[in-house]
Amino acid sequence: MAQRISLTRYLVEQQRIDGLIPAQLRLLLEVVARACKGISQAVNKGALGGVLGTAESENIQGEIQKKLDIIANEVLIEANEWGGHLAAMASEEMDGIYVVPNRYPQGEYLLLFDPLDGSSNIDVNVSIGTIFSVLKKPEGDRGVEAGDFLQAGHQQVAAGYCVYGPQTTLVLTVGDGVAMFTLDREQGSFVLTQENVRIPEDTKEFAINMSNMRHWDAPIKRYVDECLQGVEGPRGKDFNMRWIASMVADVHRILTRGGIFMYPWDKREPNKPGKLRLMYEANPMGWIVEQAGGAATNGKQRILDIEPTQLHERVSVILGSKNEVERVTGYHSTL
Ligand code: P6P
């Protein structure tokens, strides 16, 4: 039987052999992974844990928060605030940044996360997940502030997600490809189950919320229409469609077997560039997808090159199999 490599050993080797990750970053990633194990336990309890349903509150997005949204956010804050590796955190569930309290040492990293992505699926027992992104705090001995988080996605030093599905799987990049770790619940540890993940450059599977079709812009309408025409149409092949309404689960499928995921701008809220958030959804997922040989754009430019102006800003997202993303992006420049 092949030797099992734990997440800890993988990270130590990335630190020692490749010098890719300093000790403080390795500690950060291990703490985040431990927090994801705790979130997985809470999610898995479901109704038995009294954690289903909504809390009596809204987040900055104006969305009603689920109890598990708040629990997951608290787990991540409490796990990360004392270790000395972080200066501050930002979350989809918090209006402003969370600066590490003075009673703890401050580190050089900034952690951003969507603590529980896909909340609408919690109560119906469909896969959800945690998405996280790591940036370095700008040099200087001044205190950390919200503006320090406003860095383009190509500045990330680590990104990952944990999908809470039939398996709990942690997916991670530190800039040297993508690795997947499956939680061994008997041992309580994440075990390396795939490394050097590669997304096929072509696909026959697209993911988009079709109920929004009448609101889409022409390039998206053209692309999806051509997919629906199948083998008789200009693509010369039939396509399949998936939409889980959990970005983490849709992206995990694409990393596993290819595909294209689209949450484009639409006419419902024309002043918003899209629904998904740049800093803690599109940037980490975009980097992971690129590190696996895929592509990620907003229809006009590489997501990782977008210079953010607000912590919770939204973005149009087209990501996945490289050739399909390039086709959709090309339609945006010609139509
Ligand atoms: P819709 C979940 O709320 C989320 O942010 C993403 O995970 C998911 O892809 C999308 O929104 C689903 O949105 O409009 O299809 O419910």
**Domain boundary assignment for the chain:** 7-194, 205-334
User: By the 8 A CB rule, do 314 and 260 touch?
Assistant: no
| CA 16 / ligand 1 centre spacing (Å) | 39
Report the length, in residues, of the chain.
Answer: 335
* Domains 7-194 and 205-334 in one fold: no
| 193/54 Cα distance (integer angstroms) | 34
249 lines ligand 1 (CB under 6 A): no
User: By the 8 A CB rule, do 259 and 207 touch?
Assistant: yes
Which CATH superfamily is 7-194 part of? Fructose-1,6-Bisphosphatase, subunit A, domain 1 (3.30.540.10)
- Which protein residue's CA is at the shortest distance from atom 9 of ligand 1? 247
Residue-level pLDDT at 1: 59
- Which protein residue's CA is at the shortest distance from atom 12 of ligand 1? 245
| CA 118 / ligand 1 centre spacing (Å) | 6
| CATH 3.80.30.20 given to domain 205-334 | no
Q: What is the pLDDT along the chain (335 residues), one digit of tens a residue?
A: 568 999 999 999 988 876 779 999 999 999 999 999 999 999 999 889 888 888 888 877 777 788 899 999 999 999 999 999 999 999 999 999 999 999 999 999 999 999 999 988 999 999 999 999 999 999 988 889 999 999 999 999 999 999 999 999 999 999 999 999 999 999 999 999 999 999 999 999 999 999 999 999 999 999 999 999 999 999 999 999 999 999 999 999 999 999 999 999 999 999 999 999 999 999 999 999 999 999 999 999 999 999 999 999 999 999 999 999 999 999 999 86
Ligand 1 atom showing the smallest separation from residue 118 Cα = 2
Neighbour tally for 204: CB within 10 Å: 16
| CA 3 / ligand 1 centre spacing (Å) | 38
| CA 97 / ligand 1 centre spacing (Å) | 23
294 lines ligand 1 (CB under 6 A): no
| Residues ≥6 apart with Cβ < 8 Å to 287 | 133, 153, 154, 156, 159, 173, 296, 304
Q: Spell 233-261 as b/e; 16+ CB within 10 A means b.
A: eebeeebeeebbbbbbbbbbbbbeebbbb
| 86/31 Cα distance (integer angstroms) | 11
